[in-house]
A and B are shown apart, each in its own frame.
Chain A
Amino acid sequence: MTDKKKLRIATTSLAGCFGCHMSILDIDERLFPLLELVEFDRSPITDIKHCGPCDIGIVEGGICNAENVHVLREFRKNCKVLIAIGACAINGGLPAQRNHLDLSACLTEVYLTEPGLIHGHIPNDPELPLPLDKVHPLHEVVKVDYFIPGCPPSGDAIWKFLTDLISGKTPELGHGLIHYD
């Protein structure tokens, strides 16, 4: 048992607020037993910049720009199991509230015509990833294996889901842990 290979997990936040990552930390002292079973690849916890071969990829946030697409595809390519965590990854969430608006109208209002802006201009640094016309949930870009709903899901929900998955069960949340808000 002791030399059993640890599962490798990568996590990232795309068009999200890192709230789901804060919830991952909310599993609190259970992080210690979790770390007996898993090790982290790319994640804000490790600061590794690119995802290598992993057993589980956990992605927070939706897809709002070109870089999000590249990172998500890197995760899908490297992770045996891909989990979308939180409302934004699952249905676009807050960033997707711009989806019924015209993108150029949004940028114009935010950077050019909003009262109080002097010499405003729409950011055009070549290092900035280009925004997509619409915000998309992850499953519209790659195959997603599991979804943990919530804004954010609670630490208890994440713990239940991951421990179910790691022990080989179909993850179930059940009343009290499943939340869309």
Chain B
Amino acid sequence: MTDTFQLDGVAVPFEPGQTVMQAALAADHYIPHLCYHPEFKPHGSCKLCTVKVNGRTMASCTMPAEAGLEVESEIEELNALRRTLVQMLFAEGNHFCPSCEKSGNCMLQALGYDLEVHAAGFRHQYPDRPLDASHPDILLDFNRCILCELCVRASSEVDGKNVFALAGRGNNKHLIVNAESGQLKDTDIALSDKAMQVCPVGVILPKRVGFSQPIGERRYDASPISAQALEDAPRPPSGVEHD
């Protein structure tokens, strides 16, 4: 008999050590998220996955599952907050989807679609963030960075290269390249690195393959991110049934 917690009134089973997010996804319950990735240690920074646990707001990706917790996620109060978070991310960067080759495959955009965000609102900041096109095979477009640190985590934890880091604080926080010149060409990043695969938005891009997928065949053209996040979630071995 596994322990369970309540998610929006439904019992969700969990294994010891699982977070609320991990248990929810494994049991086919979607909680919106952006900086969480099933293969990495939770980061808890984007706050898209905020849920109410026994009445208090918590990041579900870092909250350990406990028996008897009462978790609320799919409620308008939280979705309104999530919508605002997505809007602020759009307003503080330069997210010009029509010219972005990640469009259609972008998690930030797909979350905006799923939450019915029709406009970012706010005063757009239009920051000046020059590109780094120094590397022969890889382009960095900092305009779209949402500071999720997935590339930082992938490069250090999986690739063992520490190519990326976040520098500065608060509004000045930004992604940097770990080389004396600050340029990507002076790092040992390779196209096959994990860091190349994890960017949820259009910052880290392989060169010469942009727009190869026609509109209609891109990832989130087929089904919304809420459906696909469940397909991505780690599954229990086949034959194991959750009640």
Contacts and interface: CB of A to CB of B under 8 A. Distances in A.
User: Are A and B associated in one complex?
Assistant: yes
Interface of A: 84, 87, 90-94, 96-97, 99-100, 134, 137, 139-140, 144, 146-149, 151, 172-176, 178-181
B234 interface: no
Given A84-B119, A90-B120, A100-B128, A180 B97 contact: yes
Contact of B119 (A90, A94, A151, A175): A90
B116 A173 contact: yes
B67 to A, nearest CB: 36
Contacts of B90: 91
A84 B120 CA distance: 12
Contacts of A87: 96-98
Interface of B: 90, 94-100, 103-104, 109, 112-114, 116, 118-121, 123-124, 126-129, 215, 221, 223-224
A94 B96 CA distance: 8
11 contacts: A87-B96, A87-B98, A91-B124, A96-B126, A134-B126, A149-B118, A175-B114, A180-B98, A180-B109, A181-B97, A181-B109
A91 B118 contact: no
Dominant SS at the B interface?
loop
A contact patch SS? loop
A151 B98 contact: yes
Contact of B103 (A84, A144, A180): A180
A91 B126 CA distance: 10
Given A147-B118, A149-B119, A175-B223, A94 B126 contact: no
A84 to B, nearest CB: 7
Contacts of A174: 116
From B95, B126, B215, B224, residue with most partner A Cβ within 10 Å: B126
Given A84-B119, A147-B118, A175-B224, A99 B126 contact: yes
Contacts of B99: 94, 97
Most buried by B among A144, A148, A175: A175
Nearest to B119: A147
A109 to B, nearest CB: 17
Contacts of A91: 90, 95-96, 119-120, 124
B116 A181 contact: no
A97 B90 CA distance: 15
A97 to B, nearest CB: 7
B118 A173 contact: yes
A178 B116 CA distance: 8
